[in-house]
Structure 1
Amino acid sequence: MDRRLVILTSLSLVQMWKFFSQYGVRVLLVLYLVQELHYSDARAIGMNAVFIGLVELGGIFGGLIADRFLGLRRSTIFGAWLLATGYFSLLSESSLFLAMGLIVAGSSLFSSNIMALLGSVYEENSSEREKGFTIFYIIQNLGALVSTILCGIVANQYGFRYGFALAASGMVFGNIVLFFLRKPLRELDQSPPKRGGIVLSILGVIALLAVGTLGVYAEEIVFQFLPLLTMGLFGGFAFFLVKDAMIPKKQIYQLLVYLGALILFFAIEDQIFSSLILFTERVTDRTLFGWEISSSLITSINPIVIILLGTAVVSLKSKLVTPFIITGGAFAILAAFCFFNFSISILGVMGVVGAISIAELMIGPLVMSFTSEVAAKGRPGMVMGLVPIAFSLAVQMSGGVGQLMAVENKEQSLEIYGTGFGIVALLMVGGGFILHILMRRFSYEKYCVS
């Protein structure tokens, strides 16, 4: 069997199980904090934003650890076991913040480095690169699809603890796949650990664990300065890469525009797991064909759309012009949120989630593919680390918007949500228009219609 296909399939399966755990937890977390622990909307959404923001932000430090000390393969494996430990720690309420810290540390090592491993399989400018990343994107969403359905049902029937246990089991299977993949990965990344690298890496992981644990615990304080810190890191690394002669400046500028699109789109998409799921729980008529639908099940629409339409994207022989992709995605989301003016049924919510998912599919694989191509020219850990920084900014922006829709008086729920979703729609249109102009200026010939 073709070596690239083996590695693509295996890494996709690992990522699928990681997404099973990640999305199983995400679909339950805000509901768990509000319904089980009786936190306010503002605190639950703030904790979620800081937690996921730190999870994504840690990727840049995981990339540095891989570049300087452990290598991509060891960092990915180490991170996978930390993730499994963190997800299982969620089973106890007393270890909630420690669990979040472990997940922050584990994801920091795992997420950006597994993408860099996959990117190293393909030659520069390979026509198979984007196809490979789209397949990777589809398979990872299979895990998200199954977990959002199963974990939501289990938590609804038996309690949140059992839902978290089911989610955590996914990362165990992911580690089993990594174990059987050890030989191909060793051939792919043969770099020995640097002198003192193990000790320094452990110290780095402990620091990430402490930041994750204390950061989520003190979310109200952290949420005040974390966006500034994240923007500073993004700007600093972007400045370094622009000044670094190893990568052409034009490609760095193109990458930054793509990442700007990613921040905008995923800031909107993250509403699915916070304000939109609370909106569904409180305001929406969840009856469908005589059955009451669990609010957590709306999140399963996201991976369903990505899997079904992602397959069609892979089969296309030509590519849409990138500016059209950005503008089309922006107006898809605008139309979706405007739909709330006409319907608050469960079908209306599903339509909104579907439109958001289409927009995600337009931008997600494109950004992942292009970033890995730029990373192949040099500084792979740093370049790939920009992706989680961008995701972190997106989640923090989402948290700020979500807190505008925090409901203290349930009688005002519909009015508050209506105003908040209107802001989301305007943000999408304004940002989409700016990105459209920038995309036309920095259009990359690879993505133009031939």
Structure 2
Amino acid sequence: MGKIDKDKIVQSVPQRGFFGQPKGLFTLFFTEFWERFSYYGMRALLLYYMYDQLFNGGLGIDKDIATSIMAIYGALVYMTGVIGGWIADRLLGTQQTIFYGGILIMTGHIVLALPIGVTGLFLSMFFIILGTGLLKPNVSSVVGDMYSEKDIRRDSGFSIFYMGINMGALIAPFVVGTVGQEYNYHLGFSLAAIGMFLGLIVFVVTRKKYLGLAGTYVANPLNDDEKKVVFKRFGIGAVIIAVLLAITIPTNILTITTFTYLVSFLGVVIPTAYFIVMYKSPRTNEVERSRILAYIPLFIASMVFWAIQEQGSIILALYAKERTELSFMGLDIYASWFQSLNPLFIILLAPVFAAMWVKLGNRQPSTPKKFSLGVILGGISFMVLIFPAMINGTETLVSPLWLVLSFFLVVLGELCLSPVGLSATTKLAPAAFSAQTMSLWFMSNAAGQAVNAQIVKLYDPSTEIIYFGVIGSVAVLAGIILFAFSKKIQVYMRGVL
């Protein structure tokens, strides 16, 4: 879009009214609040539901397979953001794509709430994966639409938006997790469905008044001939996939193990292909190409960070249930409650970071330096878990304070990297690929979790020191390398801070 069009979009949004931010931030804040409530509530229960015994209401899936499914699930949730970004950029615009995504997510949670076993599990995953891919990157893209490129509130606004995401994630494990572990897994999942329904209501009721033109345009629309070609290709692709599934599943060629390898491969190939397409596109100008090159090391750093952070719901969830003393100062603790630590610390610290960036103004660290610090802190969050095993061995339960410390450190890293990454993506994105570049940002999370699908199989209490030590050290080293090249990366960003 041209500059005049962007100015019109910004002017159409009421610019004051929600913590000094545009009023549309209210709509997007609470839409994501309820969407994250539904997603993280489901996720707090899902691993335990999969490997719990049938007589306890679980599915009785092998634990190693369950952890790989969790990683692949997370990877696909973010990988489908590419689809959501493409649909928004070329067909529907971001607002409409968000709405349809919410409908699919709600449907998925409703299916999971029904006691229909493994079939229900995978069917619900299909709906939630596709729906989240449509909704999540496009909500963040609309946030960016509400600010001019020179608006110093942008990073602060993204930090506030990020706090809303985490408020939903904070409450969900206490509500959905407690109900699911204490009473019935399916009753817990039904609460997740209600959460997404509330998010849809907020979005539909307030978007016209508060969002203005933000997200209503199609950045790079298909013409009629292109639509015919695309729909034809989609149809052919769907038929091919259906045939392959019909052949490979009954013959055991496609198993959960081979599928994890396939997704891990796609987690690397898809973002690589996207960078090449955007860089070579005739719609991308010289300045935008330079910014794409600057974005690549930030993407890799983000991938390393999310590979650690997302293990909070997999390996650290196992650590919470099997290696941690589930009582503290006389209070009994549910293992699912530890999933609230990450959003709790973000809610407490996000305003501090938002205020700090505004206070520092032009003196704040550059985006690459913020990223490097985030990756280093992520690595340290794993390395601290070496100490309880070194001190007391792996046969005894550890104090829950070790998990609290690990989650605290990774949150410090997340606040240096994630909201800053969202903001940087909206500024570095080529105009013709605005929503798709936001999808690419979420692909860094997908790529990290795709790698996790292979890594999590290596975890065992007996190899705990090596597991946490090696992964943590690799992240710290990656952060140091990024810091060393930060000035060079800044040059390629062409004026973006």
Give me the TM-score of the superposition, normalised by structure 2: 0.81
> Within 5 Å, which residues of 2 pair with 1:327-366?
327-343=372-388, 344-366=398-420
Superposition deviation, residue 230 in structure 1? 2.6
> Within 5 Å, which residues of 2 pair with 1:39-438?
39-92=61-114, 93=117, 94-184=119-209, 185=211, 187-191=213-217, 200=231, 218-244=255-281, 245-246=284-285, 247-316=287-356, 317-318=359-360, 319-343=364-388, 344-375=398-429, 377-405=431-459, 407=460, 413=461, 415-438=462-485
The answer (yes or no) to whether the contact 1:18–1:143 under 8 Å persists in 2 is yes
Q: Residue 33 of structure 2 corresponds to which residue in structure 1? A: 16
The answer (yes or no) to whether the contact 1:321–1:447 under 8 Å persists in 2 is no
The one of 12, 37, 45 equivalent to 1:28 is 45
Query: Which deviates more, 107-116 or 2-11?
Result: 2-11
Q: Residue 410 of structure 1 corresponds to which residue in structure 2? A: none
Q: CA RMSD in A?
A: 2.9
Query: Which deviates more, 376-385 or 74-83?
Result: 376-385
Structure 1 CA distance, aligned partners of 2:196 and 2:255?
Answer: 27
The answer (yes or no) to whether the contact 2:159–2:354 under 8 Å persists in 1 is yes
Structure 2 CA distance, aligned partners of 1:320 and 1:437?
Answer: 13
> For 1:187, what is the secondary structure of its paired residue?
coil
Superposition deviation, residue 200 in structure 1? 4.6
Superposition deviation, residue 189 in structure 1? 4.1
The answer (yes or no) to whether the contact 2:288–2:429 under 8 Å persists in 1 is no
> For 1:390, what is the secondary structure of its paired residue?
helix
The answer (yes or no) to whether the contact 2:260–2:453 under 8 Å persists in 1 is no
Superposition deviation, residue 162 in structure 1? 1.6
- Gapped runs of 5+ residues in structure 2? 1-13, 53-57, 389-397
Structure 1: which amino acid aligns with 2:436? M
Structure 2 CA distance, aligned partners of 1:207 and 1:8?
Answer: 37
Query: Which deviates more, 432-441 or 66-75?
Result: 432-441
Cα 1:179–1:335 change in 2 (3 A) is closer
Structure 1 CA distance, aligned partners of 2:208 and 2:323?
Answer: 52
Structure 2 CA distance, aligned partners of 1:131 and 1:256?
Answer: 24
Structure 2 CA distance, aligned partners of 1:286 and 1:446?
Answer: 50
Superposition deviation, residue 77 in structure 1? 0.7
Superposition deviation, residue 190 in structure 1? 4.2
Q: Residue 2 of structure 1 corresponds to which residue in structure 2? A: 15
Superposition deviation, residue 223 in structure 1? 1.2
Structure 1: which amino acid aligns with 2:149? E
Superposition deviation, residue 277 in structure 1? 0.9
The answer (yes or no) to whether the contact 1:58–1:388 under 8 Å persists in 2 is no
Cα 1:416–1:41 change in 2 (3 A) is farther
Larger Rg: 2
Superposition deviation, residue 447 in structure 1? 8.0
Cα 1:363–1:76 change in 2 (3 A) is same
Give me the TM-score of the superposition, normalised by structure 1: 0.89
Structure 1 CA distance, aligned partners of 2:383 and 2:73?
Answer: 30
Cα 1:81–1:351 change in 2 (3 A) is same
Structure 2 CA distance, aligned partners of 1:31 and 1:446?
Answer: 48
Superposition deviation, residue 218 in structure 1? 4.1
Structure 1 CA distance, aligned partners of 2:353 and 2:414?
Answer: 13
Structure 2: which amino acid aligns with 1:329? G
The answer (yes or no) to whether the contact 1:131–1:314 under 8 Å persists in 2 is yes
- Gapped runs of 5+ residues in structure 1? 408-412
Q: Residue 6 of structure 2 corresponds to which residue in structure 1? A: none
The answer (yes or no) to whether the contact 2:37–2:172 under 8 Å persists in 1 is yes
The answer (yes or no) to whether the contact 1:125–1:373 under 8 Å persists in 2 is no
Cα 1:84–1:218 change in 2 (3 A) is farther
The answer (yes or no) to whether the contact 2:82–2:133 under 8 Å persists in 1 is yes
Query: Which deviates more, 265-274 or 222-231?
Result: 222-231
Cα 1:39–1:75 change in 2 (3 A) is same
How many residues were matched structurally?
437
The answer (yes or no) to whether the contact 1:320–1:447 under 8 Å persists in 2 is no
The answer (yes or no) to whether the contact 1:138–1:310 under 8 Å persists in 2 is yes
Query: Which deviates more, 264-273 or 382-391?
Result: 382-391
